[in-house]
């Protein structure tokens, strides 16, 4: 197991240091980028003003998406299988060329 280190990240112009292991770092960076984009999209819509309110709306939107995916509205496993199948097909076509 890796040592826990501080990773400097930036979300909507604000700097944060978050502790994580080397193995967790790529996932953390993906999450930071995803959250930053969600918050910027909300800000750019012009309907919500203030970083705290934007963060709250982003959190509510993400919680809603997560709960819908768990309630059966979205079958994440099926999406993963379909994406894997598409990737396999792409690999076969690329290998044939």
Q: Percent of the chain at pLDDT above 90?
A: 51
Q: Give dist(CA 85, CA 81) in Å, integer.
A: 6
CATH of the domain at 70: 3.30.160.880
HSE (side-chain half, CA atoms, 13 Å) at 37: 7
Q: Residue 70's domain spans which residues? A: 5-96
Number of domains in the chain: 1
Q: What are phi and psi of 75, to 5 degrees?
A: -100, 95
- Contact criterion met (CB below 8 Å) for 32 and 14: no
Q: pLDDT tens digits, residue range 39-86? A: 999 999 988 889 999 999 999 988 888 887 766 666 666 767 777 778
């Amino acid at each position: 197991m890796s040592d826990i280190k501080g990773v400097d990240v930036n979300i909507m112009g604000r700097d944060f240091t978050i502790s994580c292991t080397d193995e967790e770092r790529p996932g953390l960076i993906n999450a930071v980028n995803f959250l930053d984009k969600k918050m910027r999209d909300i800000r750019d819509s012009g309907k919500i003003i203030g970083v705290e309110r934007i963060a709250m709306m982003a959190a509510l939107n993400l919680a809603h998406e997560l709960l819908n995916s768990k309630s059966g509205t979205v079958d994440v496993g099926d999406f993963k299988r379909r994406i894997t199948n598409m990737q396999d097909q792409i690999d076969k076509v690329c290998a044939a060329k």
